[in-house]
Each structure stands twice: as structure tokens, then as C-alpha cells.
Chains A and B, each alone.
Chain A
């Protein structure tokens, strides 16, 4: 692909200064996102997927967060070097983010319309005065956005308060807010985890529709492999702050190379198949205050060897498929 990737993260490392010491949250994370692509970041607790996403928009309080290396290039520009004022121009207009629990991200004392119009007007302030929307135009735009996310009776909904909306409807409002500035990239951090199954299906379908209609690029952070398989083109698997594998979705499920990915897939119960034995992954997360050198999965890995003390690079094992493992078995153990 000769096209420049929309987002490119290279060797990103992040540490937190805590009472107990320095917490090495992510270690040399690298991945790309092409235009119009849906990328899933998958991992369990402590893998660093959320802090990676928040780093893109500079949403981590610093201190205690410290980026010790790496760069985050969006359309060629390094976001890490942007100060707060530079990031303000990026947030909402170039890159937007939606989060897990829709209730806590909406202010309960303001109507939905007020909050949405507030966001639209905030983006307008970044525009030159001559092209700014008036408040009335902003209101019309708000109704438009609510219609785009298929909220029933959008005109009436503007005056409703968050408590009057169901979980699914609130998440739609948040998506409308996120997209009101016409961003190129939407980052969704566990957007459906707090929602019921049938509502989750609706929201996932909505995101797919928006991707198709608006040419949106999406980074979806989740622990649910089913959601990733449904929504994403490519997947990045993270463990304890390191990227262990990245591949197209089909390749990941058909031929997982990294022992962690294999372990993860073997641990997921499949709703469409009769029960077969599930195997967990023995052991527990390494202490990120004093992580082992090299691959952080070695303590739990069935294929670990002495070589693992040296960090394996993300090596290509197939078309757009990389794995960070010295001893992988070529994906035969699928």
C-alpha cells in the first residue's frame, strides 16, 4: 500500500509514576491504521489497550503519565508533540472517541439537545468567523446527527434528559456527538460492553453503517473477540502492554500464531457450538512495576525458552500478519 496510513503508532512506551514505583503500562507498541479501515485492539485487563487509545488524544493526566518513547502520527503529524491547544483542534474534528458507559458520559442535568449543540458550537469556534454556524443552524445539525444514528423522533429527543433515554439510545447520542465534527477517525473504547445483547447488535450494526456511509476509520477497543470478528477488518492483540500479534480478522481466527492468541481463542466459549472443553491460560499477569525483560508473556507461555528474555520483534508471518514470538508454531495449533 503506497497510501500513507491514517494513523501510525511507532514504538510507543508509557509509564505511570505511582506510590509503589514506576508502572510500565505499555512497552514499544506499534501498529498502523489505514484510511477507511476498522481496527480492533483486543486484550484483557492490564494489556494497555485503553491507555494506548487515550494517548492518541492526550486524555491521560501527565503527571503521572509519561511517554518515554515513540510517536503517534495522524495524517503525518506527531500528536505526542502537540500541546493541549493543538490537541484541542484535533479532538472532535479529526479524531473522536466514545466510551464504555453511556450514562456516565452524559451530564444528567442538561438535556440531550443542549449537550449536543454545545459540542457542535465548540467545534464551530475553531472555524473562521465567516463560516461559523449560527445556533439555529447548529440545532438543525443536531437533529440531523440524531437522525443519522437512527434515534426515533430526533426533534423531540433534543429536549429529553439522559435519564429518559435507554442505554442504547444514550450510546447513539454519544455517537452523534462524536461524529458531529465530521472526524476522520472514531475511537470506540468498549462501546457495547455495558449494553444488552440485542442492543449491542443494534449499535454494532449502526457503527458498520456509519463506516460505510461516511468512510469513517474506526479503532475498536474490546475484550470481546466476537465483536472484533463481527466489526473489524484487522486486529491487534495486546498482552501486558505489548503488541503480540496483528493480522486480518480471518487470519487471526484461522491461523493464530502467538501462543497468547491461541490461548485466548481456546478460552472463549462459542455460543453457536456445543460445549467443548475450555482451557484457561495458567498463571497471572506479570507485575508491571517490575516486568520481565523481553516478552512479558514468557512466564505463562507453553513455548517459552531462554530466547524470550530478549524482546521478539513483530515479525511478518503472512500477508499483513505479524507476530512477536521467537517460538511460534506457524499457526498450526489453531
Chain B
């Protein structure tokens, strides 16, 4: 697809977790995911534990080797990059990790942490390097004194800003953000989210935003893909999907979120059961065990096809909710 910043084609990631003498066991984290991000877009990947959302993010950056499928970054196939392609990949795409408290080496000063990508990929050194890092701190709104501080002296929000500074040091085109605000207080989260919006506008970045927090995804992402056990069950424009979900899981997910408002709507019975393990995937549609709209004989046997709701909105369901 022309103009796509990131394209995942039928991506699967399976881990071999076999124990000696107990036969072969595969953990199927990601199963046939196809997704395209246009330049400048912000797409949310939403799901709970076992959905594979973090794995997708890491596979896109070649931190985890995909089992099958293709990954295209700005048109280049980076599924199995050689050393040179890998270096180029690192310049173009970067990640902001989940827990700012452990994403920074506790024994390295902020200067060294943020300078690391520059040391690895550019020949800036000494005073020029320090100046560039200071510039990056300015961009993320941190005082220059922090250059010589250690992570444990900074608050959660400040640490996350440092991580963002590190991620944008090489002027990447794509930023993958893995739960960047989950470990932060609400008031700090709001600042970081606003800042991420500004950053995207200022630098023309493309965002892949991975989160389990639906409110945050609705705030930041223009499009959203909902994941369940390694498959995209629904994908479309955020507003459309959130206001009238078609997949029963999306609907249950939205209904489950408690709303910060005075009057609570009647949320009905919560979705029962537990999330199955990705080691032992259910047959047919992975959601059939918990689905209120299950069609016996069909949903437990046959994997659902992708059904187009409207242009740009797809649902994987035998019995989707109609409008």
C-alpha cells in the first residue's frame, strides 16, 4: 500500500515454550495480524493480557523475530533485516517503553542515556553531543540541570520525558509507544498525552500506540485496532468503533470500563470467564467461550472471516452486532 509508514502483512509470532520431555508447546502470541499505518497517522492497538499487542510492537522493531508474515517500514521489507538494514531500521523507528522507572539504566546519567542513540548512530561527540542532548531536553520540557542527574532523582513523568527524548534523538519517522502512561499519575498522564500530540504535529511523526486504557486511546488515536488473543477482531476509526462497536468483545470491553462521571449507566452483566491462555488457543473463533452472541456449531469450529462494515472499518465475526 503506497504511502504506508508501517505495514504488517499476516504477521505471526509464536514462541516455543516446550518443556523437556513434555512434547512441543507453542505460545501463539500473534496470529495473522495485518495492519497499515499511514504517514502521520496515530493508530491504537487495544487489548488485555495475552492480546499480543506488546509483541506486535516489539516485532515491528525487530526486537522479537516474527515467525511468519512480512513487515514493511516505509516501503522497505524489514522482516529479516541484515545488519545494515537493521541499523537503518533503528534510525527510522523507535520505541517508548512501558515503565519509565525501569526503562532507564539506573547507573547512567540522563546525559548518557539520551546520548546513547547518538553515540551509536552518529559521530557527534563531546561538546557537540552535549549540546544536542540539551536541545532534546528542551524539546521535552526538562531543565538542563537534569543532564547530570540519575533516574532515581526524577519523578515518573520526568523519566518518561527522558525516554521520549531518547526515542526522538535520531529523528525517527515512526514511534511505537507501549503503554507510555500506564505507570503515571493521572495529572502527569494528561501532560504527557498533550505533549505527545504536540510532538506529533511538530515533527510529523507516525504513532503506533499500544494500550489497555480505552480512554487514552480514544483521546490520542485516530484509528484503533482491537486485539484478542493475537488477532485483530475489529479495526476502524476510533470514534466509529467506540461509539458503535460491532464486535461483541469490543462491546464488552467498552462496557466494562467504569466511567468517571456522576451517574453510571446500567452496564449489565460483566463479561464472564477468564482470558484463555495463548498456549492453548480455543478452536474456531478464540472468543467463542465467552461470547454472548456465539452461534453454536459455527463459532467454535470455524475462524471468522473479516467482514467490512464500511470503508476502513472491518470486523472479524460470524455474528457481528448490527447498527
Point out the residue from B194, B212, B257, B263 that lies within 8 Å of A278, measured CB to CB.
Answer: B194
Candidates A197, A226, A227, A265; contact of B48 at CB < 8 Å:
A197
Which segment of A62-70, A110-118, A268-276, A288-296 sits at the interface? Answer: A268-276
Whether a CB of chain B sits under 8 angstroms from the CB of A91 is no
Among candidates B189, B214, B254, residue contacting A267 with C-beta atoms closer than 8 Å: B189
- B259's partner among A205, A252, A271, A277 (CB-CB below 8 A) is A271
Q: Which A residues are CB-close (under 8 A) to B270?
A: 198, 201-202, 204-205
> Quick one: given A45-B156, A166-B274, A196-B48, are A270 and B261 in contact (CB under 8 Å)?
yes
Q: Which of A45, A167, A223, A253 contacts B261 (CB 8 A)?
A: A253
A275:B219 contact, CB within 8 angstroms: yes
B259 and A272 contacting across the interface, CB-CB below 8 Å = yes
Known A45-B185, A225-B186, A263-B187; judge A201-B259 contact (CB<8 A).
Answer: no
User: Chain A 182-224, CB within 8 Å of chain B: the 1/0 string?
Assistant: 0000000000000011111110110000000000000000011
Q: Is the interface of A mostly helix, strand, loop or mixed?
A: helix
What distance in Å separates the Cβ of B258 from its nearest Cβ neighbour in chain A? Answer: 4
Known contacts: A271-B215, A284-B155. The answer to whether A198 contacts B258 by CB under 8 A is no
**Are the CB atoms of B215 and A198 closer together than 8 Å?**
no
Q: A197, B257: Cβ atoms under 8 Å? A: yes
Within 8 A of A (CB), among B128-181: 155-157
Beyond A166-B275, A168-B274, A201-B267, whether A226 also contacts B186 by CB under 8 A is: no
- Minimal Cβ-Cβ distance residue in B for A202: B270
**Assuming the A-B contacts A45-B185, A166-B274, A254-B262, are A269 and B256 also in contact, with contact meaning beta carbons closer than 8 angstroms in the complex?**
no
When A and B form their complex, what is the total count of cross-chain residue pairs whose Cβ atoms lie within 8 Å?
A: 137
With the chains together, A275 CA to B220 CA distance in Å? 8
Give the size of the chain B interface in residues (CB under 8 angstroms).
43
Alpha-carbon gap, A222 to B193, bound state (A) = 21
A299 near B: Cβ within 8 Å?
Answer: no
What is the chain A residue whose CB lies nearest that of B243? A274
Partner among B220, B258, B269 whose Cβ is within 8 Å of the Cβ of A227: B258
Does A280 reach chain B (CB closer than 8 Å)? yes
Which of B49, B214, B242, B256 has the most chain A CB atoms inside 10 A of its CB?
A: B256
Q: Is the CB of B262 within 8 A of A229?
A: yes
B283-312 CB contact bits vs A (8 Å, 1 = yes)?
A: 000000000000000000000000000000
Give the complex CA separation of A61 and B319 in angstroms. 56
Q: Footprint of A on B, CB under 8 Å?
A: 48-49, 155-157, 185-191, 193-194, 212, 214-216, 218-220, 239, 242, 252-264, 267, 269-272, 274-275
- What are some 13 contacts across the A-B interface (CB < 8 A)? A44-B186, A166-B275, A201-B257, A202-B272, A204-B258, A226-B260, A253-B262, A266-B190, A267-B186, A271-B259, A273-B218, A275-B218, A280-B188
Residues of A within 8 A of B (CB): 44-45, 166-169, 196-202, 204-205, 223-231, 249-254, 263-275, 277-281, 284-285
> 4 smallest A-B Cβ distances: which pairs?
A280-B191, A226-B258, A201-B256, A230-B258
